[in-house]
Amino acid sequence: MLADVPGLIRVENTAPEDMLARCLELTHSVYPHDQVYGRFCTVQEYVDCPPEQVYDYLRHGHHLQEWTYSVRDFAPAGEPGLWVGRDRLAERTPIYCRVLANADAMTVDYHCAWDQGERLWMIYLMRVVPAALVLDRPGSVITWTNCRHPYYDHNPRPDLAPRPDRPWVGDYWDLFYAGHGIELANLKSILEYRHANGLPVSVPPTVAAPR
Amino acid sequence: MTITVSLTDVAGYLPGEPVPAEFFTRCPGADQRLRRSVMFAAPPYRHHVAPGDTNVDLIERAVAPLMRRHGAAEIRRVDVLLVHCQLPDLPFVGAGTEVARRLGLAPRWLLDVSNGGCASFVSMIELAAHLLRTTDARTALVCNAQTVAGQVFTQPAVRRLAQAAVPGDGCGVGYLTTSAAAPLLAVATRHIGEYAGDMTLACDSDRRYFEPGLDPMRIGFTEASIGRVFARGNRLVPEQVAEVCREVGVGPSAIDVLVTNQPNRAFLRNWREALQLPPERHLDTFEECGNLFGAAIPVTLDRGIRSGAVRPGDLVVLAGFAHAGDYAAAAAVRWGG
């Protein structure tokens, strides 16, 4: 029974003018960074490149080596679909990654972790939306969300760190909005440059994928 | 060699006894819709002009303290007179020449200003300063008279609306001189044409405001327009304050006293938050006076000076936006005392 759920605001119990009043009350000029990006961090961008090509580019994980700031040198990690590379944000840090993509929804999720590949908890959720639908223009909208998994605040396997004083990825959480914004700008620049110049958007991997 | 212009003094006047919110909220047929919204939450008190009070009456009373403090002869010598009346008593002629006659002024420059709205005190300061710097004019009087509340918003059919309880009447005046008494450090103003015309007057019939009819005039707020104007106002004032601070060469945190227009509590809260100023450094008179439109800045500043909240040496920033966002302005003054 919906009536048993406390605190619902629905037109049946709240007149439109009260809804408006409530919304005005909740609308500020500025919001503390932590309130907006403390638990979830979403960045989004318009890209002048067809959505199918953007999706295809994102779906191939080796492209992370182009548009991310520091993920490099991917190679097969020994089990199907699992890759291991280096995150050069921190010295001698392996990053494991598995790509889960859905062509119908054009979602591409990178399931990652530092130091180990058994539990991929650091998950980058990306979605490509045809801009024709949402902005009435050609091209794509990309959204990218990270959720603050408890491991960001607490390294579950400190024993695997290459050195005791190696910074932990979660130490950077408060900079994710800025950092991911910069990486998304990289992504936009690459896609738009190749598309505008009639070049293939995707490029072959430098390391052959295992068959 | 730029001539230094100072906002040497300000004075304010509030007509009559405070009118409690119940005057509106308990009137027959009071419409409670929107009243809970922060845009239209009623302040406990406001002032209303008495029947027959004109803009010129209010300005005369507001200027009286300036004459006491600086000498009537000194004030009568002003070279520049700028007047903004939120609700003109007469079309065609403006109020400026009548102010000059009543106060015994003979200004070389006399202008009735009808734009700038709630930020017109800043626009008039900017214009007066320009005249003082570029001509042989030496002193200026700028006047903001607000008489809408007791005249438009007390009409029986308007009084019951939520919007009616927010405005208040009052008058604020500023005295500018070519001196270093309280130097005007910088002004940052913007006219925003794309938001012109978004504030409308409404009647129930389609008559023009001067045509005869029984339906009263009011401000044409719609629920959709409220959201738009709210978002604009949230943005515009902090932007102008940041801009004027950049020109002074300080960050907003260096502001000792911020005085803004005061359309409602939400704007006051949001501007303060946006500039990260503690409440005690953002003065307002909303609880006692409601929305004073253009008179808010000088009235609140006057009160701040008299109460000791504004101290000699303080960096004072005056800021506001007009109408539905068609103008935004900020001025920085190093208060002299």
From chain B, the residues in CB contact with A21 under 8 A are 34, 36-38
Full-model pTM: 0.86
- Pick the residue from chain A with its C-alpha nearest to B33: A17
Q: Looking at the structure, do residues B195 and B297 belong to the same domain, yes or no? A: yes
Whether residues B208 and B175 share a domain: the answer is: no
Mutate to test the interface with B, among A17, A26, A35 (most CBs of B within 10 A): A17
Domain assignment present for B1? no
Q: Look at residue B101 and tell me if it is in a domain.
A: yes
CA distance A82 to A77: 5
- Distance, in Å, from the CA atom of B99 to the CA atom of B272, rounded to the nearest integer, reads 36
Asked whether residue B196 is domain-assigned, the answer is: yes
The one-letter amino acid at A51: P
Q: Do B196 and B169 have their domain in common?
A: no
Among B160, B180, B200, the domain-final residue is B180
Of B162, B180, B198, the last residue of a domain is B180
- Indicate if B31 and B139 belong to the same structural domain: yes
Residue B274 within a domain = yes
The reply to whether B136 and B195 lie within a common domain is no
* Together in a domain, B282 and B305: yes
Q: How far is B240 from chain A (nearest CA, A)?
A: 14
Please indicate if any CB of chain A lies within 8 Å of the CB of B230.
yes
Q: Cβ of B253: how many Cβ atoms within 10 Å?
A: 10
Position B199 in a domain: yes
Residue B275: inside a domain: yes
> Last residue of a domain, which of B180, B211, B245?
B180
Domain match, B278 and B317 both: yes
pLDDT in tens, chain B (337 residues): 689 999 999 999 999 999 999 999 999 888 887 777 788 899 999 999 999 999 999 999 999 999 999 999 999 999 999 999 999 999 899 999 999 999 999 999 999 999 999 999 999 999 999 999 999 999 999 999 999 999 999 998 899 998 999 999 999 999 999 999 999 999 999 999 999 988 888 888 888 888 898 888 888 776 667 888 888 999 999 999 999 999 999 999 999 999 999 999 999 999 999 999 999 999 999 999 999 999 999 999 999 999 999 999 999 999 999 999 999 999 999 999 6
Instruction: Judge if B134 and B21 occupy the same domain.
Output: yes
- Tell me how many domains chain B contains: 2
CATH number of the domain that residue B306 is part of: 3.40.47.10
Q: What are residue B10's phi and psi, to 5 degrees?
A: -135, 160
Q: For residues B206 and B285, state if they share a domain.
A: yes
What's the domain range around B35?
A: 6-180
The answer to the question of residue B59 being in a domain is yes
Q: Are residues B189 and B318 in the same domain?
A: yes
Q: Which runs of E-coded beta strand occur in chain A?
A: 40-47, 71-76, 82-87, 94-102, 107-114, 122-130, 140-147
pLDDT at residue number B1: 62
Chain A touched by B39 (CB under 8 Å): yes
Q: What is the pLDDT of residue A211?
A: 39
Residue B111 sits in the same domain as residue B208: no
Per DSSP, which regions of chain B are E strands?
Answer: 6-13, 19-20, 45-46, 80-85, 109-112, 139-146, 170-177, 184-191, 201-202, 218-219, 257-260, 282-283, 315-322, 327-334
pLDDT at A84: 98
A139-186 residue pLDDT tens = 999 999 999 999 999 999 999 999 999 999 999 999 999 999 999 999
Which of A15, A21, A29 is nearest residue B234 as measured by Cβ atoms?
A29
- On chain A, the residues whose CB falls within 8 A of the CB of B34 are 17, 20-21
CA A193, CA A199: separation in Å to the nearest integer?
A: 8
Are B229 and B327 within one domain? Answer: yes
Q: Given A20, A25, A30, which is nearest B226 (Cβ)? A: A20
Nearest in space to B125 (alpha carbons), one of B76, B67, B186, B73: B186
CA distance, residue A11 to nearest chain B CA (Å): 15
CA distance B45 to chain A (A): 21
B25 belongs to a structural domain: yes
User: Do B227 and A18 make contact, defined as CB atoms within 8 angstroms?
Assistant: no
